[in-house]
Every structure is written in structure tokens, then in C-alpha cells.
Structure 1
Amino acid sequence: MKEKLKHQLLTIEMKAWLKHRNGTSDVVRILPDDSSHAAQCYQIYTAYGEYPGYLGRILFDQEGCWIYDGHDLDIAEQEQLANFILRPVERRYN
């Protein structure tokens, strides 16, 4: 499976529900960014509002491991977004 993930870049914007520990949730925009040296990189923004807030980015390496570059999301929120990003890619090959 990892071999297939290495070369697959999503090229479309995605939206996801982000659940917070306090029970609230928000919709976030996930935008592919090919300007990074990572195998895959996604910029994360708030989805609604006149001026979308930047929440950071998630970078994936050649092995499919990820790291969050930002300060606004806790670990559970980072994991939610990483899993959301990876799931659509994995379904394409099943």
C-alpha cells in the first residue's frame, strides 16, 4: 500500500469536520500544496468567514508518515486531519 501512496497526490480541495475536545466542531479546508519538498503537503484553513484563518499544514514523507507544522491544532485534531487525508487515497486502490 505504501508504494501506491508515495506517488499519489490529491489535487483537489477537501473539506472536513474537525471535532474539538470540548465537544464543538468546525469545518476546515484542506488544500494540496505542491510547493513543499515533502512527498505530499496540505495547507489547512478555516472553511468559512470573510478571511479564512490559517491553521498550519500537514506534510507526508515518502513512507506515508506525517508531521504537523503549525500551532493551532492539538494532537487529536492533527490525527483526525491526517486520517481524513489518507483515507480517500487508500480507497482509490481497494
Structure 2
Amino acid sequence: MNGLFGKTTGSIQNSGVVTAELFRQGVSIANGEFIQYHPITVECSEKRMLISEAARGEGGRIFVYRNGKPWYFLEERYPEMGNLMPRDVVYG
């Protein structure tokens, strides 16, 4: 469902572009709570791969580039738990 949620672990061949376009046009999506996606990914040649929450539990740090430098946004936005903040809070 990359077309609907952006950069996720979904297949690039099953992009969700039709669902996304219908949603943008105001069509309701039934049972959308059953769509599972993982927004923390790394790009590979054929699809995006999930960065496991276990990697964060072992000290992995999530960042994006901002002004050409790594920005550890979870640590800044959620100083109490940083990279260990659960995704339902971060992306909810």
C-alpha cells in the first residue's frame, strides 16, 4: 500500500495506487484498521525492508537527513523513550 501510506514494506508491484487515488477522491475505505504497514524501512533494490523494532531495542537509532545531517527526531520529540517509543504513539 505504498501509494496510500508512502514508504512502507509493501511490494513496489502492489503499490496501492488505485486505493490511494480513490481515497483522495473521497471514497471511504472499509475496515482500514486491518491494513498493517511498517513505516520504518530502508530502501533495497526491489522493495523496502522493515527495520525491526528489536533493532531499536538493541540500541539502533532512527534518523532522517535534515540539512544534510542526521536528525534523530524520535530522541528530540520523545525524550522520555526516544527510539523505543512504540509506533502506535509515533505514527498514530
- Length-normalised TM-score, structure 1: 0.23
Bigger CA radius of gyration: 2
Which structure shows the bigger proportion of residues in helix conformation?
A: 2
- Length-normalised TM-score, structure 2: 0.23
